[in-house]
Amino acid sequence: MVALLKMPAHLSEESWADRRMFPRKEFHATVLGHRLDHTIEARQMPRLSLMLRDLSLGGLSAISDRPLSRGEHLTVNFPQEGMLRGWDAFGRVLRCDPSAMGYRVALEFDPLPAA
């Protein structure tokens, strides 16, 4: 229990990468997102375009043109590409930080499909 109290409150990006369960693969594509929360911002602009940076079984990193709230729920539609079937994912925003190209978003996929 003492060790938990002495852990830093904010982990660096390197230490976060060491904790990943699933390896990330660099992946560049544009996918469509749909905001599911009932906030005013989400209702006014429910659809968004995400430029993927990387992807894993557990989540994704992307650039968004508008800010998203931490904990906000999204569905992401990956369109069919060649022989690969399209698929949908459900997740929540872990972080959204301003960057030179928009907002850098980290999304964690929900392990269970949305009902």
End-to-end CA distance of the chain: 38
Q: Which domain holds residue 53?
A: 22-62
For residue 84, being part of any structural domain is answered with no
Overall average pLDDT of the 49-74 stretch: 92
For residue 42, being part of any structural domain is answered with yes
Which of 72, 79, 66 lies closest to 30 in space, CA to CA? 79
- 97 phi and psi angles, rounded to 5 deg: -120, 140
- 25 phi and psi angles, rounded to 5 deg: -115, 135
pLDDT at 22 over 60: yes
For residue 51, being part of any structural domain is answered with yes
- For residue 36, what are its two tokens? 């599911």
Task: Return the minimum-mean-pLDDT range out of 67-76, 81-90, 100-109.
Answer: 81-90
Looking at the structure of the chain, the number of domains it has is 1
pLDDT at 115 over 90: no
The whole-number pLDDT of residue 6 equals 44
The whole-number pLDDT of residue 100 equals 92
The whole-number pLDDT of residue 21 equals 67
Q: What pTM was computed for the model? A: 0.71
Question: What is the DSSP secondary-structure string of 11-56?
Answer: --HHHHHHT-SS--EE---EEEEEE-S-SHHHHHS-EEEEEEEEE-
For residue 43, being part of any structural domain is answered with yes
More confident residue, 107 or 80: 107
pLDDT at 10 over 60: no
For residue 40, being part of any structural domain is answered with yes
For residue 108, being part of any structural domain is answered with no
For residue 56, being part of any structural domain is answered with yes
More confident residue, 62 or 111: 62
For residue 9, being part of any structural domain is answered with no
